[in-house]
């Protein structure tokens, strides 16, 4: 039972960090590095608890597959960062989120992240051209979009992509939770 509690605390910490990262990105197009560190730490704690104390629970893939997922995401997004298409905070936070997923679930994560990123791009274009907000907070995504920049708070897309993938990976499955 205590392993289940540790797992759930780590899982809800990851969900909370997604909310914080999304909010921070909307407020100022910045994701603090500490969120990436905490996301990584929450995965390491959850993985260690399950691996060492409940090895019969088939929840995570091998540590290698989780590490390769994060590395593949980081390499891809580093190239996008170098091309000026993605922020460094997005790359780091997304990589920390990808660590939660084995390579098996990486395509699902990328699909939903890209889908929601596209929606945010369309919303950004709408805000940029229609300027629907009278007095947005200075420095916020909305203020920057209304001033003509094309920046998108991709932390929102990363967070939504991860949360949807958590469902696909059955991290909340009653069968998995009962196996603790």
Tens digit of each residue's pLDDT, the chain (180 residues):
899 999 999 999 999 999 999 999 999 999 999 999 999 999 999 999 999 998 888 899 999 999 999 999 999 999 999 999 999 999 999 999 999 999 999 999 999 999 999 999 999 999 999 999 999 999 999 999 999 998 999 999 999 999 999 999 999 999 989 988
> Could you list the residue range(s) of the whole structural domain that residue 74 is in?
2-178
Indicate left, alpha or beta for 19 from its phi (over 0: left) and psi (-120 to 50: alpha): alpha
The owner of tokens 């990976």 is 169
What is the number of domains present in the chain? 1
Predicted TM-score of the model (pTM): 0.95
Is residue 158 within 8 Å of residue 167, measured between CB atoms?
no
């Amino acid at each position: 039972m205590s392993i289940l509690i540790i797992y759930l605390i780590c899982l809800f910490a990851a969900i909370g960090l997604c909310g914080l990262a999304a909010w921070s990105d909307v407020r100022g197009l910045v994701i603090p590095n500490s969120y990436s560190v905490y996301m990584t730490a929450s995965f390491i704690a959850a993985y260690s608890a399950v691996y060492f104390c409940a090895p019969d629970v088939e929840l995570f893939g091998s540590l290698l597959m989780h590490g390769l997922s994060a590395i593949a995401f980081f390499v891809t997004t580093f190239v996008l960062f170098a091309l000026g298409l993605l922020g460094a905070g997005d790359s780091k936070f997304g990589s920390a989120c990808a660590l939660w997923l084995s390579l098996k679930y990486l395509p699902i994560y990328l699909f939903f992240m890209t889908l929601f990123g596209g929606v945010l791009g369309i919303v950004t274009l709408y805000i940029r051209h229609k300027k629907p907000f009278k007095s947005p907070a200075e420095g916020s995504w909305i203020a920057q979009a209304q001033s003509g920049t094309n920046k998108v708070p991709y932390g929102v897309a990363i967070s939504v992509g991860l949360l949807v993938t958590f469902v696909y990976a059955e991290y909340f499955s009653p069968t998995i939770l009962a196996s603790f």
